Structure 1
Amino acid sequence: MSSSPPASRLELHAITKRYPGCLANDAIDLSIAPGEIHALLGENGAGKSTLMKIIYGVTQPDSGRIVWQGQAVQIKDPAQARDLGIGMVFQHFSLFETLSVAENIALALGTAAGTPRQLEPRIREVSARYGMQVDPQRLVHSLSIGERQRVEIIRCLMQDIRLLILDEPTSVLTPQEVDELFVTLKHLASEGCSILFISHKLGEVRALCDTATVLRGGRVSGQCIPNQCSDLQLARLMVGDAEGLEASYPKVQGGLTRLRVDDLSWNNSDPFGSSLSNLRLEVRSGEIVGIAGVAGNGQDALLALLSGEERLAYGERERITIDGGPVANLHPDARRRLGMAFVPAERLGHGAVPDMSLSDNALLASFHLGLIDYGLIRRKKVLKLANEIIRRFGVKTPDAQTPARSLSGGNLQKFILGREVMQEPKLLIAAHPTWGVDVGAAATIHRAMIALRDAGGAILVISEDLDELFQISDRIGALCSGQLSPLKATADTTVAEVGRWMAGQFDNPQAAA
């Protein structure tokens, strides 16, 4: 007499994990069936990452049970997870850029799977079967971000995967690549593979996922069928207070030109970086200009040149001007004194020093606001500023003396953006301002930028999130291979058109700038 297969692929029973001063997972129950696409939702710090690390064997729970295909298991490390049939594609890819696709996959599978050359036919077969075409001989640095993600997924699928965990898989993809990824995931699910999908993009969750489990404060706050809920209902499950989550901001026309970039070209010495070619751009007072683009298309170079981390020669100083004054040869502190503020793409290490307190991190970018007197730090004023940032932007932290590294990504991002906005800058340049943050933190950040705009500030936002750019931008364009598309009023373009610009499909660059 044969036994029937288990109804669930994975079951978690009362999974609990504590860290000093933090209960990351509090008696969490979760069940995923074969062929199910299951969303895991929650605000930053809700416990999603810890739970994924437990399933994948990176972290061990303090208590609770894991049941895999009807059998209780203890997953001691990622190698055991992969042996069971659990694969994970992390938000930050783990590929060697100087190696080929086949070489990267061979490293993951081990010598028993064969040499890179022996693996090439299998890679082509798997990629063709799931509609993820990729050449196994291509070097990773020559691939687009979407193609790199395909390599990560193919690497999992070549290990007889039964559960695929995807952490924010669409955050760096064009709309067309998102559509292609969803076709692949639905194909996988139709063959019985279970998928655990982590995302802050609620519209995508509703379009793709069969069921959803929502975490809040380390506990399960609800479960639902996403396509039977609105984005607002899902957001309420995640953050409770839904104020501002469905805000629709009026589009405006800017005034006087604050930032002008005039025929800017720059040769990137990084062999894996993108150079810039003849960029022209204006950002005016009282407007937000959004620049879309898949990572690696010149955004880092443009940000470095605008912030002053990379500088042009004195003879080219007028390639970048602020209020008509040439700044392309000036250091970052000189540009800040002219009224520029800057939110970098990397929070820890670039936007904030990890081991320094929030108070000291507030000082680093605000030193010119009377916080230093004859070479002496005015500690009370610095602490007052840090506490005001924490209060105004709802930063969840014990106090201003807390090290930056101890904050969740969303809370640190709120602090960094708050630090810049509190300077009341004439010009704010923000890179990926809500990348990887929950809907509540994103709403706080958007409201702050709109308030700065309405007070006359000029804002340039560089982001890979088209939904965000269409929500807050007054004009929009896209970078591809170091070239800038036309800039159009957001109301006069579409997501599909900007998606084409992100893929380089535009004529007469910057004709509408």
Structure 2
Amino acid sequence: MTPLLSLNGLTKAYPGVVANDAVSLRIAPGEVHALLGENGAGKSTLVKMIYGLVKPDQGNMEMHGARYSPSEPRAARAAGVGMVFQHFSLFDALSVAENIALGMENAPKLRALSEQIEKVSDTYGLPLAPDRIVGDLSAGERQRVEIIRCLLQDPKLLVMDEPTSVLTPQEVEILFDTLRKLSAEGTAILYISHKLEEIRTLCDAATILRLGKVVGACSPRETTARDMAEMMVGKVLGTPTRSGVALGETVLELKDLSLPSPSAFGMPLRNINLSMRKGEIFGIGGVAGNGQDELLVALSGEMLALPGTVYLKGIDVGASGPNARRIAGLLSAPEERLGHAAAPDMSLTENAMLTGAAREGLDKGGFLDWPAARGFADKIIKAFDVRTPGAGNAARSLSGGNLQKFVIGREVLQRPEVLVVNQPTWGVDASAAAAIRQSLLDLAEGGAAVIVISQGLDELMEISDRFAALNEGRLSEPCSTKGLSVEKIGLMMGGAHGMEIAHV
């Protein structure tokens, strides 16, 4: 069979790094092809060349046997290539139909477009009302907007970058059913994900990149997730471990914490109670949009709380801002790494200064100590294996996973007494995820209290001592993770409490 898309020796270099080095692969019509690699392996650069966002330095591409060289995304779409990015490009205040129209060339009038959206929605099992406001949608529904926008343009190749990172298990099943239907109709899918069990379930073939080069290929259904992960990183993976330690005194207490959401489309917090001791890891799960971001900003001090609702080491810090809480030992790492956790156009040195100035002594008598800040940034880069030419590079120049390693490392190395992290391993490869989890386990073993907010239930069960679920801004009653069943977790995430889960 003639390949749908052929990549022949694609090479792309940037100052200090070769992102892709003579990469070649073939994708057949209807094939679901996984593109695997650790953070910084070159996956993003490769798909940007396919989608016309980046021009290769060497090599060429062919579509249906003819030369394919898109000068921009519009040309790629015209050739039949659609792409669903990891970060959605949607306007919260506009409707589904209005957002889809903005991403189309020669979009029809809204009434006709709405009819097309409903037809595609029904055909591919992607429930979505055209007149709904995007700000009211869940993460899974927002992804459907992006997918339907692509499907309306009849793609022959659909590129998907980390498509399940913010989806519930039920939404993942809906997505996979859609992708299987597209595949059966002849649409090829290039699928990027660090969730290797999903790769094994969905994909027909896989190409593995390491340091910009193709280092192997495999049939995912015949290869274990561990074997694929070790092919990606080129070494045997370790398993995070933790020595048993006795818990210390109470270090953080929340007492009937209630706060409005800072966003018009967010979720207010409702009467949250929590008590944490030194050395404990507390896992918080939940479907996206149920108050995770609001809880983090309430704990970090970005939103101030009423007196008597937030206590750190017995002291009321509800009215204290982020800097005061950091000095007192409460640090945080938010989910949105580019823009919230890190300033995109600032260097890694400058980003290290932003949160590390007080605890790392990076300012002296009102003057910023830039050599010390560079030293701190270099320390983070080395300790957390951040792939970057140097600390002078801008945060936005890093791959998502490498920036995540930098953000987590920056907070862990400041020796917090309480650390709150939201989605700590989002978008990172198996090796980096294991290293981040180990750093959190080590932090707790050293006496810190750690709150891990995550949609990765396997991750929470692996490292947490206790678990609770957020649902509509309310925190369920905490319980031990030992012996906790998936059924009970599901009920907790759905808002069931007390006797409703006692018999599960």
Same fold (TM over 0.5): yes
Q: Is the 8 A contact 2:241 2:438 kept in 1?
A: no
Query: 1:489 corresponds to which residue?
Result: 480
- CA 1:477–1:253: 2 relative to 1, 3 Å: farther
2:434 is the counterpart of 1:439: no
Contact 1:164 1:194 in 2 (8 A): yes
1:9-48 counterparts in 2 under 5 A?
Answer: 9-48=4-43
Change (3 A) 1:198 1:72: same
Compared CA separation, residues 266 and 500, structure 1 to 2 (3 A): same
User: Does structure 2 retain, via aligned residues, the 8 Å contact 1:262–1:280?
Assistant: yes
Residues 330-345 of structure 1 aligned to structure 2 (within 5 Å): 330-345=320-335
Match of 2:229 in 1: 235
Whether 1:304 aligns to 2:297 is: yes
Q: What's 2:271 paired with?
A: 278
8 Å contact kept, 2:488–2:501: no
Change (3 A) 1:319 1:174: same
Are residues 96 and 362 of structure 1, via their aligned partners in 2, closer, same or farther at CA, if it must alter by over 3 Å? closer
Alignment check: 8 A CA contact 2:86 2:161 kept: yes
CA distance in 2, matches of 1:509, 1:436: 37
Partner of 1:319: 309
1:138-287 residue pairs with structure 2 within 5 A?
138-244=132-238, 246-247=239-240, 254-268=247-261, 270-287=263-280
1:318–1:325 contact (8 Å) kept in structure 2: no
Q: Contact 2:241 / 2:441 at 8 angstroms: preserved in 1?
A: no
* Range moving further from structure 2, 482-491 or 160-169: 482-491
Query: Following TM superposition, by how much is the alpha carbon of 1:396 offset from its aligned partner in structure 2, in angstroms?
Result: 3.1
Tell me the SS of whatever aligns to 2:198. helix
Alignment partner of 1:491: what SS? coil
Give the Å deviation of 1:349: 3.7
Amino acid of the residue matched to residue 333 of structure 2? V
Residues 35 and 207 of structure 2 are in contact (CA less than 8 Å); yes or no, is this contact kept in structure 1? yes
Deviation by residue 1:7-59 (Cα, 9 ceiling, x = unmatched): 31111111111222221111111111111111101111111111111111111
Determine the structure 2 residue equivalent to 1:290: 283
**Gapped runs of 5+ residues in structure 1?**
1-5
Identity within the alignment, %: 51
Closer/same/farther in 2, CA of residues 108 and 405 from structure 1, 3 Å limit = closer
How many Å separate the matches in 2 of 1:106 and 1:412? 32
Q: Is contact 1:176-1:499 (8 Å) kept?
A: no
SS at match of 2:23: strand
Q: Which residue of 1 aligns with 2:90?
A: 95
Residues 140 and 366 of structure 1, relative CA distance in 2, 3 Å threshold: closer
Match of 1:76 in 2: 71
CA distance in 1, matches of 2:423, 2:90: 22
CA deviation string 1:56-104 (max 9, x = no partner): 1111212212111222222122122222221111111122222222222
Q: Separation in 1 of the partners of 2:143 and 2:134?
A: 11
State the TM-score, normalizing by the size of structure 2. 0.92
Report what 1:49 is aligned to: 44
Instruction: Describe the shift of the 1:97–1:298 C-alpha distance in structure 2 as closer, same or farther (beyond 3 A).
Output: same
Equivalent runs, 1:89-128 vs 2, <5 Å:
89-111=84-106, 113-128=107-122
By how many angstroms is 1:168 displaced?
Answer: 0.3
Tell me which residue corresponds to 1:3.
none
Corresponding letter in the other structure for 2:147: I
Q: CA deviation at 1:439?
A: 1.7
Change (3 A) 1:19 1:376: closer
Count of paired positions: 501
Instruction: Kindly state the Cα deviation for residue 376 of structure 1 after the two structures are TM-superposed.
Output: 4.3
Distance 1:85 1:177 in 2: 26
* Contact 2:12–2:18 under 8 Å retained in 1: yes
Specify the SS of the correspondent of 1:165: strand
Could you tell me how far 1:194 is from its partner in structure 2? 0.9
Aligned to 2:471: 480
- The code of the aligned residue for 2:427 comes to G
Give the corresponding residue for 2:441: 450
Q: Is the 8 A contact 1:339 1:427 kept in 2?
A: yes
Q: Give the CA deviation at 1:115.
A: 1.3
TM-aligned CA deviation for residue 173 of structure 1: 0.4
User: How many Å separate the matches in 1 of 2:303 and 2:46?
Assistant: 40
Aligned to 1:507: 497
Q: Return the alpha-carbon distance in structure 2 between the equivalents of residues 263 and 187 of structure 1.
A: 48
Query: Which stretch shifts more, 52-61 or 289-298?
Result: 289-298
Q: CA deviation at 1:252?
A: 7.4
TM-score (norm 1): 0.91
1:272-317 deviation digits (Å, cap 9, x = unpaired): 12111111222221111111233332222211111111112xxx32
The SS at the match of 2:308 is helix
Matched, 1:65 2:60: yes
Please give the root-mean-square deviation of Cα atoms over the aligned residues, in Å. Answer: 2.4
**Partners of 2:229 and 2:430 within 8 A in 1:** yes
Partner-residue secondary structure (3-state), 1:29 = strand
1:465 Cα offset (Å): 2.4
Alpha-carbon separation, structure 2, partners of 1:102 and 1:402: 39
User: In structure 2, what is the equivalent of residue 464 of structure 1?
Assistant: 455
Helix, strand or coil: the match of 2:409? Answer: helix
> Are the aligned partners of 1:165 and 1:197 in contact in 2 as well (CA < 8 Å)?
yes
- Three-state SS of the structure 2 residue aligned to 1:492 is coil
Residue pair 2:240, 2:437 contacting (<8 A) in 1 also: no
For 1:403 and 1:119, locate their aligned partners in 2 and report how far apart those are by CA, in whole Å. 40
Corresponding residue to 2:385 among 378, 394, 414 = 394
SS in 2 for 1:99: coil
Equivalent position SS for 1:166:
strand
Going from structure 1 to structure 2, the CA distance change for 1:278 and 1:155 (only over 3 Å counts) comes to: same
CA gap 1:175/1:332 in 2 versus in 1, 3 angstroms: same
Give the aligned partner of residue 347 of structure 1.
Answer: 337
- Equivalent-residue separation in structure 2 for 1:269 and 1:354 (angstroms): 22
Question: Partners in 1 of 2:352 and 2:496 — Cα distance?
Answer: 41
Runs of 4+ in 1 over 6 A off after TM superposition: 250-253, 509-512
- Report the CA distance between 1:382 and its aligned residue: 4.2
Question: CA offset at residue 383 of structure 1?
Answer: 4.4
8 Å Cα contact 1:251/1:473 also seen in 2: no
> CA offset at residue 430 of structure 1?
1.1
User: What letter matches 1:208 in structure 2?
Assistant: L
* One-letter amino acid of the structure 2 residue matched with residue 64 of structure 1: G
